[in-house]
Amino acid sequence: MDSHGQVEQRVVWSVVDSGIGPLLLAATREGLVSVVFHATDTVRDRAVERLASRLGTEPVEDPGSPMLAEAIRQIAAYFAGERRDFDLPLDWSLISGFNREVLRELASGVPYGTVVGYGDLAGRVGQPGAAQAVGMAMGANPLPVVVPCHRVVESGGGIGGFGGGLETKRRLLALEGVLPEPLF
């Protein structure tokens, strides 16, 4: 507790290997708060600085933290093909409003091995004309992979954009059996 009797915010992070390269996972007492793709040293350092700024406390590298242990285990099982769903507490504090509503619907309503169109997802949250806003929400997703923005595609059959890069999106969709594995 701090000097005012308030529980201090604690943020822990770790970089883990995955089938799509290093991922930075960060958690608070409430749950997993951030997943960052391509967590090389430079990307990692920027992500930790951003978390410090947004959450008001200096994140601490602590791969053995109980707050991260289950997330690390479930991410490893997902990439090993042993897990289809994540069962983790999530801290939604980095996102709000429409974006949070869309991401919650995505997390609960688009299962492993399926895809949804941007417009279809907009309709599910009562905003049928907001496909472009759904795209913006996907780009703002602080919890990719766990909140599966890679499952959102263009209605005409195109793969759409992806903050982790299109090759990463293809690999995640191939892992889930939506796309064939690349030949080389």
From the list 149, 152, 172, 173, the catalytic residue is 149
Burial class, 84, CB count within 10 angstroms (exposed 0-12 / middle 13-18 / buried 19+): exposed
Cβ contact 164:142 at 8 Å: no
Per the annotation, the verdict on 149 as an active-site residue is: yes
Measured distance CA(124)–CA(71) in Å, rounded = 28
- Report the distance separating Cα 21 and Cα 39, nearest Å: 8
**Cα gap 105→113, rounded to integer Å:** 16
The string of DSSP letters for 8-33 reads: PP--EEEEE--BTB-EEEEE-SSSEE
Cβ neighbours, 10 Å, residue 2: 8
Task: Indicate which residues carry an active-site annotation.
Answer: 149
